[in-house]
Amino acid sequence: MWEYTDKVKDFFLHPKNIGEIENPDAVGDVGSIVCGDALRLTLKIDKDTKRITDARFQTFGCASAIASSSALTELVKGKTIEEALKVSNQDIADFLGGLPKEKMHCSVMGREALEAAIANYRGQPNVVEEEGKLVCECFNITEEKIRKIAIENHLTTVDEITDYTKAGGGCGECREEIEAILRDIWSLKIPEKPKKPKKLTNLQKIALIQEIIEREIRPGLQSDGGDIELIDIDGNKVIIALRGMCTGCVMSGVTITGVQDKLRELVSEEIVVDAQ
Ligand code: FES
């Protein structure tokens, strides 16, 4: 059995933005029912500001596919199309508090539907779905897609590729070819996962937290009309205050969790963030 977070369960049982927009400005269709997962994303985009004013989804898939699709619509609503294109499959998984590794392909499907919808809006072809040599016939996965997902997510094993794309998870005949693709990618470039500093003094930790908030967190919040103020740091406890549009926002809990996740990723897993 998969271990689902409470948020995945909530977004599966009470999905937000389900359905199809009438006269959408963009449509993204990915996956196929034959392969077990399919997703249609429809967007309404303000033609002057290029901001996504509405996002809805229809999906055929498991609990993770429904939760990931719903999370995607929540993440992109209110963003410009340029901002939305920065939403990665990892952002979708993080928004849900994580997905079982075997279900990461659901977050990838969400990201691909977003790319397909924006390509459709711009009158461009859906590159990942249409280009490249077919590697996995069971799941209709191209070499182009395997390379893209491996590089974006630092994947180095065939099993990881299966978790993120399903390729290799059927008859298994393509697994050798996937392994060769991975060897080719990573013999040229070793994947670099973001590294955390090993041992910090209190002063170093305080300075690093301030730097991460300024460099990694504040710009994103300010681009949505919000802001963050660092109030205090007491050991691993970080007290912040949300400002601007973030004040009283219904998603403020998600924002605080996002701040905590980023600080845990880049400073220390012990960090706990509280908001005033
Ligand atoms: S061809 Fe890839 S699993 Fe069958």
* Tens digit of each residue's pLDDT (9 = 90 or more) over 114-124: 999 999 999 88
Q: Is it the case that residue 77 has pLDDT exceeding 90? A: yes
Residue 153's nearest CA partner among 96, 219, 68, 93 is: 93
Pairing of strands 141-142, 52-60: unpaired
Contacts of 81 (CB under 8 A, 6+ apart): 45, 50, 51, 52, 118, 121
Residues 210-236 have a mean pLDDT of: 85
Residue nearest to atom 4 of ligand 1 (CA): 171
pLDDT band at 266 (very low <50, low <70, confident <90, very high): confident
Q: Is it the case that residue 143 has pLDDT exceeding 70? A: yes
Residue 173 is predicted with a pLDDT of: 93
Q: Is 137 a pocket residue for ligand 1 (Cβ < 6 Å)?
A: yes
C-alpha of residue 89 to centroid of ligand 1, in Å: 23
**CA 270 to each of CA 142, 195, 237: distance values in angstroms, whole numbers, following the listed order:** 40, 16, 9
Contacts of 176 (CB under 8 A, 6+ apart): none
C-alpha of residue 173 to centroid of ligand 1, in Å: 5
pLDDT tens digits, 161-214: 999 999 999 899 999 999 999 998 887 655 555 555 667 888 888 888 998 888
Q: Is 36 a pocket residue for ligand 1 (Cβ < 6 Å)?
A: no
Q: Is it the case that residue 267 has pLDDT exceeding 70? A: yes
Cα 196 to Cα 189: distance, rounded to the nearest angstrom: 20
**CA 24 to each of CA 72, 109, 118, 126: distance values in angstroms, whole numbers, following the listed order:** 17, 20, 12, 17
Residues 91-114 have a mean pLDDT of: 92
Average pLDDT value for the chain = 87
Residue 273's nearest CA partner among 246, 247, 234 is: 234
**CA 262 to each of CA 216, 220, 234: distance values in angstroms, whole numbers, following the listed order:** 8, 12, 18
pTM above 0.75, yes or no: no
Cα 129 to Cα 29: distance, rounded to the nearest angstrom: 10
Q: Is 172 a pocket residue for ligand 1 (Cβ < 6 Å)?
A: yes
